[in-house]
Structure 1
């Protein structure tokens, strides 16, 4: 629309401004008309291609040429160039220089008519010249609106980028959670099953069928336990609510530790995420106890306080030979990640006193 209006001003000026020719005053009018047309058409140039200093020079020359055209021409719409250039001054320049340049435009046009510097003064009163700078206010309003729209667009784009970054973070967090669950189910369970099957293979050569059968039965029970762990993982991924006390008791019993759980405080149901992570920490601790301290006694404590829920798993030193093996190194890291997501703390270290002295303890505290 602005482009159409600009062309219309130029075309109407070419048809109405007189005299216009190739000699005398007509040539002066023609030259000034061309300068005004170029200055007005140049307002379509993108802002990033015209520096502020160059814009001031170009618009200053434009309003000088517009004032001169009003004075030299005897008739026509030459004053439209001054009006439209003043409006573009407000749009292109900052408020202070725009107002100054628009004031100069008004004074120049009024002076041309007041001092009767050309034949055009007979057509227009000098007070009309003062009004040529007023469109600068429209330009300033348009510039303000344009900046407001641009700021709103940039804010929306920034919000969209932040939303995409948050979504990527959520995806990575979920991947980390699934990776920990897969590690807990596969690495622990398969390591235990593999250990029992290797033991059974070694015992076959001894001919001790009772021990072979015991190792086989233990591997079979680990398979059943792995199936339970897989079910717990499915529940966790679906965010299904699991009863913490019952699930922890079943986990201890399936690991061969009956009646070792002590409960302190008033039992309450915890949020699914808290239950899930405490069960995974207990599973990690029990697996490590079976791997590094076979035959050692295990004790578990679940404490419900007003401000937190605490789980402690202790094991005594090994009473049987420890089978050499290398863990994945992700167990303790997974514990810390789980607890950190809930704003809690976890510690793991040797037991220095009590019936489990010389063993190992894992303690996780989750705030409410």
Structure 2
């Protein structure tokens, strides 16, 4: 059985500590650095594609200062109302009224620079108005409520409770200690201001929560984009391994067979061929090891459904378009320039770019037609995939936009350039250029071959 007295003694320090904690929080919020400058920064400039996109750019930039303008207008309006309640300025009473009007309304504008300091100045004006005049007390309390609401919106929700308690508890004590003091409307005003401050605190809490959610979503989106890039790099590494490994294997085989094709091979030449073969085999092993590190998340980095299947090239473009046509996408391919064999890496990347672009059309532009343009030019290969506007809304895709990241990664690996975005007619356009270093003997003659005249078209 526990002793009730011991329980009470054990609870007493806890309650005392709680009280000191509350006082420490109030001191930190309302007293520590109360008049330190905390200027209100302008709002972020509205986006060009936002709700204000139809306004001129100059007006959109000035919208950033809208909160400052509203607070300034409110301060001027309150000052004019205070002057209207004054009397002739040539009397001493009018001078006191003018001074009290400034003390009452200036804190509204001061919130833009020193919010907590503005509260204390407004609080002092309320105490003065309770002693000065009952009619003036009503205006002072209204201005003070405006100051408290703006301070809550600028700082944190808990200040609503702290400022309300300091203002009206001290006001009630003043009325009790000085019976002749005005302020008969203080109790009713306290109840009404509590409701307003609770609403302001709720709005501030909602804004903070929304800002936190937006920041979290932004971080998640960045992380997902980074994962997409890394996954695409792993796929590119796997595909480039197949291309590079083929050439290295040919080098190794040719270096091993070369000494047997020459009679009386000099020892120095045989040694050179042996060195070439050993380096080629070592390069293959190193390439495989590095690729295994890149794809370390797989149990077997080199395992797939059909390991013996060759990588696709632009020669398989007709098959790709036919398969897209079976899913309902009407696509057309147009090839211009002198068709020539390209490095396997370029062929593979070009095929993947077209494949991803057409897949994006299926996902994001249902019912739209697509056109694939491939141009064999001096120095490289040009690609352009454009689609029209969709005829129905697209189903939301959780990975929207990440396919473009993968395409950019492929183009950058080859040292090319790529652009992607709306084409201005309700459709979307992807354009890329993949550079190819060609020997002078392989360069096509000016004017091109037969494909320059007729081209090649495939429709599905």
TM-score (norm 1): 0.49
Larger Rg: 1
Give the TM-score normalised by structure 2.
0.40
